Structure 1
Amino acid sequence: MGTRKAGFYRHDLDGLRGVAIAMVAVFHVWFGRVSGGVDVFLVLSGFFFGGKLLRNALNPAAALRPVHQIHRLLRRLLPALIVVLFGTAILTVLIQPQTRWETFADQTLASLGYYQNWELANTASDYLRAGDSVSPLQHIWSMSVQGQFYLTLLALIMGLAVLLRRPLGRRLRGFFVVLVAALTVASFVYAIFAHQADQTVAYYDSFARAWELLAGALAGALVPLVRWPMWLRTLAGTVAMALILTSGLWIDGVNEFPGPWALVPVGATVLMILAAANRQSHPRTRNRMPLPSRMLAWSPLVTLGSMAYSLYLWHWPLLIFWLVYSGNAHAGLLDGAAILLVSGGLAYLTMRYVEEPLRHQVGPADPPADRPTRWWRRVFGRTSIVSTVVVLMLVALLTAAFGWRQQVSAERADGRELASLSPRDYPGARALIDGARVPNVPMRPTVLEAEKDLPASTDAGCISDFKNAEILKCVYGDPNATRVIALAGGSHAEHWITALDLLGKEHHFQVVTYLKMGCALTTEPVPKIMGNNAPYPLCRQWVDKVMDQLVADDPDYVFTTSTRPWNIKPGDVMPSGYLGIWEILDRANIPVLAMRDTPWFVKNGNPYIPRDCLAGGGDAQSCGMKRDVVLAETNPTLAYLTRFPLLKPLDMSDAVCRPDECRAVEGNVLIFHDSHHFTSTYMRSMTDELGRQIGAATNWW
């Protein structure tokens, strides 16, 4: 674990990096799976960076220069990232609809600020955005985790070295080994609990991923202590390589990482590091290395490893943009190969003409007192054409990102009058139900307004998020009324609050909310999040509490959804897990206003967002779907009325869909703000029809 100058550099680990990036790219392009290659990267990053930090801290003669270290990190990491973000921004404008530009702007800033993993963790747990297409910048989460790790470990190691070098002397090595080992175990334990609580968020959590980098740093600390015979090194390297190459085939990393199963690629990488410990990989001594390490030190793999960073940055956005442009759900053999070839070409050019010139360019670390160093020179080195171009790209990215966000905010601010749109110009659902005339006026909400055209309960925080199993009760309608409708379930129950609030005020009843994101009322033992099928144990905990509370509160009616879309065929169905809920409410003598669920727009197995289609030039019809694809011929709830006499079916399908199609726009109003949630503007237009059906079911008016 030395330097090139010392004649001891781990070329085999550069080759391992090449194998890892090949696995990542191939699995992404052709298999749509997690290969474990990213976990290999994390361990190697911890090994190289952490090992160097520890060696420097343990050397009494070495100067501690944290600012210089940060400059080197930025000069190594930022230029290629900026170039890829700039290219991706151009492709976003050319290929993706305007509705995606704001998310791209947010994630560009998050990527440049190295908090992209937290940006993704926050949006991944937001059910209202669960239908968004995959981001072309999603893969940069791992770069953000590494950047945060580098800065944290740098501060920790150098700070402790300053304090403890002299008092501990030679015992400092043992102290650091114990410290890194303890932090590794603590992070791993945290990852297990975080994985069980919310795997989707844990996947991006820096604290749940830190153990993988720390394991690499720990391996670096243990390398001088390893004295294995060659046969054991060869066996260990062979087993490690087999696990690295195959783990992506038999481990579902998307759903299992960063939990205990991540130990397989992480442990295998640590084993590979230790297998060739204290064996120089210089060509003159390569035959002293175990066979797997000699194979990894093969020149083409080492070259691929030197391109790994740029190839990792380029391959994912090119794949996503191709899928968006082609409309395909997956890349085929030929187009996938083309994506890999183009990614490889761009990665080589980025490495050769951006990374290498700026990485080895010496910056003016100690300028004369009368010549202060500009920030861009500190980051990118002395002025050159390459550094100048990269700085201009950075300025353009920041200007475009902040400018677009400001424009979107201004347009949404202008949309505050959505609640008071003229019913004559914007009849919405009334055009379907009452045959209202539809004048020729622009659609509202616009494709940019729609994302924030949400129920008041969302803005008021009256719906528990994915991490919260507590009941949040809010009151809408007429708060002084004695009649009560309990609105219970997930966001598909929640979006009816806009119409229920208006009806409650008009007909004098309270609407009390019992809502949780992505959690319909069900007795299923381990519910799953609709859309990505991720286990959702907190949903069942919440449902148990809510059912006890509903029975205790004894409302006049419970309003909730009664159907869900089929996962395996067109149409909708009443899930078996709902029957247990009806039985509980039936025993408590509480009637149920059972609303047929919203049509879910899905194409090729992926959420289909009409406003994206409209932003891309489609119209109300071309951006819609056939009715028989999203809805069964009859309401599935009707088959259970004999068994549950207190079940009062509500069906607003005819207020959303025509007899043969469900369009994106009706009555000049955009229906959905994503692939399956109503805009509040369209919901207001359904109030009269909903009131007619509730009045008939309750006999209250």
Structure 2
Amino acid sequence: MNERNIKELGLQKRIDIESKFRPEIEGLRVVAALLVAIYHIWFNRVSGGVDVFFVISGFLITTSIISTINRTGEFKFLPYVTKLLKRLLPSVLFILAVVLILSTFLLPESILGKTIREVVASMFFYQNWQLAISSTDYLDATQMKSPVEHFWALSIQGQFYLIWFVLFSFILWMMNKYQIKSIKTVINMILGVLFVTSLSYSIYLTEVNQPWAYFITMTRVWEFALGSLLCINLSAIRVPKWIAVIIGWLGLVGLIATGILFNVSQMFPGYIALWPMTCALFIVLSGTQDTRFGLKRFLGSKPMVKLGGIAFGIYLWHWVLLEFYRYNVQQTPGLLMGSLIIVSSIALSYLMTEWIEKPIRTATVNQIAFKKLEAMMGVNILLIGSLLGMSYMQEQELKKQVSSDRYPGAMAIKNALNVSEENPFPSYANVFNDLPLVHTDGSNQGLKDSDVKVGQYGKKKDYKATIALVGSSHSEQWFGALHEAVKGTDIRLINLTRSGTRFSTGYEPDSLKGTWNQNVLDYLKDADVDLIISHVTAADASKDRIHQQMIDQMQFVKDEYGIDGLALRDNPRYDFNVLEALETSSIEDTTKKMNAQDNQTDEAFWKNFEKTNKSLYKMDLTRYFHVKGEYRPVIGNVVIYRDNSHMTNTYAKSFGPLFKEKITEVLSEKLGSK
């Protein structure tokens, strides 16, 4: 694509511009793509290259829009969108089809559902919002990455193109209606306001909710606006040749070092993102001068320009190849394999561009081009339906085999059953989504507010006793067991849980977590509750203070409100995803990995707590997580973990008889007297 600089903006519909090819921008595109690939492959880090893509996209699309206005005197939606779809969809649909086919044979079953959701999101350019929601879901944040996760950047780009259509349509309308004399000033003002507003919001949101800020569109608009501002004003900027040489190479070195200097995935897109933006700005400004030793000679060379033309495909292919390699060979490729992934990405991108993208993009008859796109879309939909259908049938077939004797779960330990671990349940494809009812029916409190949600279960009328499950996801995971325990009884069960928030005295009073804790206390003060149940240790916490603060909160409820407390010891936790290990290795190898680390640092504290605290009831179920002292990922033919620390709902439900026995013991007098 030829790049043009705007030389002058006039009053008329026609805007006089000077056309000029910018080869260094093509070279910058491939630098950004290769940086993303290199950091992903060998350093498992984010490079900041995507942010540079956004700046370049802002520059190029603004040039294209103004060229259209200059040529036709108008800016229509259908030609604009048609051109974009012919440019973007061929590569997107083709790669997604390849991913769906390979997923059948090479992808772990546990992320098949996640991958399909993200494929659909990528097809319709809302993948960034899909990931934003996932990354702020406490129980979803640790799930394995899909082969199409990187499509979030392309989704933002597609949304940005629509925003820019609205923006420049408004500007053109103002030009025609009000006969503005200095339209360049107006464009700069509008883009400047967008830049400042979006950057300010990005800085704020990155501080308060970085996972959400990283993916949403509004926090990235300023990066596109910067590229547009650069496009509008570049012809008016004069950079001395010696300065152009210096800032060009400084920009390149600074850009390469971004991923080393900053933890991009946790610090962007706040003010730190100004670093790669400034580097990109330096590189583009340096390209305004032709110098012997300038960066432009390198970035604008024929090989770099040629690679820049397929940089889009390099970015899309590298992650797909990398993830399939990780799931089937090893997590971090060596130098040879990593280099092969990059070379393969370049080759595939070139072939895709020549044989898939160009024939559609350059088709003079739009009807023919869109018939091809419709066929590609149809193939993808058919593949998605086939994968979902196969997964559903496999799960139904497995469910037919499920029985209490073949799949006893924790009861295999209690009753000393020797159960063959064949076809464990849930199937790996469904383990991750095997969640307690309260997490799927909306009763669980999310991370964004501090109000108390009260979910009621069991016997809701004429009940004789009420138990309340309180605390974080490590309390919530026991809901299945409690729900089983109260079946057929006169007990009401209520849920008072909030993801990522312990029932503890350890939070600042004015924080969201501290406020939620106080709101729970206020509710319990006047509630008809006989027993609260919560975990009082965190198996991965080495500080006794953390455990004690949870005990103190339960003790407060007991002393001040007269409500009994059942304190649960936390289940073992691991520093790796157990489900991922199961799928990528074996039950035996995962067992070895589980037993190679200290998975319960709360051991000494719990023993002391059992001896010294006489007013709270206690329940230690950790013995149901190992067989003869060996911690295992599957017990009683049931998969225990859905990630690194949370139980599957199926395994939790198998504890139902144990909780029923304990609750009956604790509430025996109240059940008999009420």
* TM-score, scaled relative to structure 2: 0.86
Distance 1:489 1:338, change over 3 A: same
Cα RMSD for the two superposed structures: 3.5
Determine if contact 1:105/1:402 at 8 Å carries over to the other structure: no
For residue 607 of structure 1, the aligned residue among 577, 589, 603 is 577
Residue number among 34, 55, 70 corresponding to 1:22 in the alignment: 34
| CA contact 1:60–1:165 (8 Å) conserved in 2 | no
Counterpart-to-counterpart distance in 1, 2:304 and 2:492: 68
Give the corresponding residue for 1:680.
Answer: 649
For the residue of structure 2 that corresponds to 1:127, the secondary structure is coil
What amino acid is aligned across from residue 202 of structure 1 in structure 2?
A: A
Unaligned runs of 5+ in 2: 7-16
Distance in 2, matches of 1:60 and 1:427, equals 73
C-alpha spacing 1:439/1:217, structure 2 compared with 1 (3 Å): closer
Query: 2:11 aligns to what?
Result: none
Query: How far apart are residue 466 of structure 1 and its match?
Result: 2.5
State yes or no: 1:331 paired with 2:323.
Answer: no
Moved more, 253-262 or 116-125: 116-125
TM-score after normalising by structure 1 = 0.83
- Residue 553 to residue 235, structure 1, CA distance change in 2 (3 Å): farther
1:696 Cα deviation from its structure 2 partner? 5.5
Within 1, Cα distance between the matches of 2:251 and 2:158? 27
The answer to whether the 8 A contact 1:237-1:272 is kept is: yes
- 1:96-150 Cα shifts (integer Å, max 9, x gaps): 1333322222211111111111111122222333332111111110001001101
Q: 1:679 to 1:35 in 2, by over 3 A?
A: closer
Looking at structure 1, the residues matched to 248 and 279 of structure 2 have their Cα atoms a distance apart, in angstroms, of: 8
Q: Which amino acid aligns with 1:49?
A: I
SS of the residue corresponding to residue 627 of structure 2 reads coil
State, as a whole percentage, how many aligned pairs show the same letter. 26
CA contact (8 A) 1:477 1:503 kept: no
Q: Which residue of 348, 351, 374 maps to 1:349?
A: 351
Separation (CA, whole Å) in 2 of partners of 1:613 and 1:505: 33
1:70 aligns with 2:81: yes
> CA 1:434–1:459 in structure 2 vs 1: closer, same or farther (change >3 Å)?
same
Is 1:660 the counterpart of 2:629 in the alignment?
A: yes
Residue 595, structure 1, aligned to residue 597, structure 2: no
Task: Give the aligned partner of residue 517 of structure 1.
Answer: 499
The letter of the residue matching 1:354 is I
SS of alignment partner, residue 567 of structure 2:
strand
Please give the alpha-carbon distance, in whole angstroms, between the structure 2 residues aligned to 1:250 and 1:414.
51
Quote the residue 1:530 is aligned against. Answer: none
Question: 3-state SS of the aligned residue for 2:316?
Answer: helix
Deviation at 1:334, TM superposition (A): 2.7
Shift of 1:362: 3.5
- Kindly tell me: are residues 170 and 275 of structure 1, through their superposed partners in 2, closer, same or farther at Cα, counting changes over 3 Å? farther
One-letter code aligned to 2:439: T
Q: Map 1:525-564 onto structure 2 (within 5 A).
A: 538-547=512-521, 549-550=523-524, 556-564=530-538
Q: Does 1:257 align with 2:227?
A: no
Change (3 A) 1:646 1:341: farther
Residue 7 of structure 1 deviates from its aligned partner by: 6.0
Task: Letter of the 1:308 partner, please give it.
Answer: A
Q: How does 1:19-418 map to 2 (within 5 A)?
A: 19-57=31-69, 59=70, 62-162=73-173, 164-277=175-288, 279=289, 286-287=290-291, 291-326=294-329, 328-359=330-361, 361-364=362-365, 373=367, 377-379=368-370, 392-406=375-389, 408=391
The CA deviation at 1:17 is 1.3
| Cα drift, residue 255 of structure 1 | 0.3
SS of residue paired to 1:514: strand
Q: CA deviation at 1:464?
A: 1.2
CA distance in 2, matches of 1:220, 1:423: 68
- The change in CA–CA distance for 1:554 and 1:265 in structure 2 (over 3 A counts) is farther
Q: Is the 8 A contact 2:536 2:550 kept in 1?
A: no
2:431 paired with 1:431 = no
CA separation of 1:179 and 1:325: change in aligned 2, threshold 3 A: same
Pair 1:540–1:195, CA change in 2 (3 A) = farther
Q: Secondary structure at the match of 1:43?
A: helix
Contact 2:100–2:383 at 8 Å: present in 1 too? no
Change (3 A) 1:413 1:54: farther
Other structure's SS at 2:446 match: coil
Matched-pair contact (CA < 8 Å) for 2:112–2:429:
no
Q: How far apart are the structure 2 equivalents of 1:235 and 1:526?
A: 49
Cα displacement (A) at 1:227: 3.0
Separation in structure 2 between the aligned mates of residue 78 and residue 498 of structure 1, nearest angstrom: 44
Q: State the partner residue of 1:495.
A: 477
CA gap of 1:472–1:157, structure 2 versus 1, over 3 A, is same
- Higher mean alpha-carbon deviation, 71-80 vs 125-134, is at 125-134
| Equivalent pair of 2:195/2:222 in contact (CA under 8 Å) | yes
Q: Residues 584 and 651 of structure 1: is their aligned pair in 2 closer, same or farther, counting only changes over 3 Å?
A: closer
- 1:147-185 deviation line (CA, Å, top 9, x unaligned): 110122113312441453242343333222211111122
Residue 414 of structure 2 aligns to which amino acid in structure 1?
I
Shift of 1:325: 0.7
CA distance in 1, matches of 2:659, 2:483: 12
Give the corresponding residue for 2:455.
Answer: 474
Q: Report Cα offsets for 1:359-410 as digits up to 9, x if no partner.
A: 3x23225xxxxxxx3xxx2448xxxxxxx5x765443222111333355457
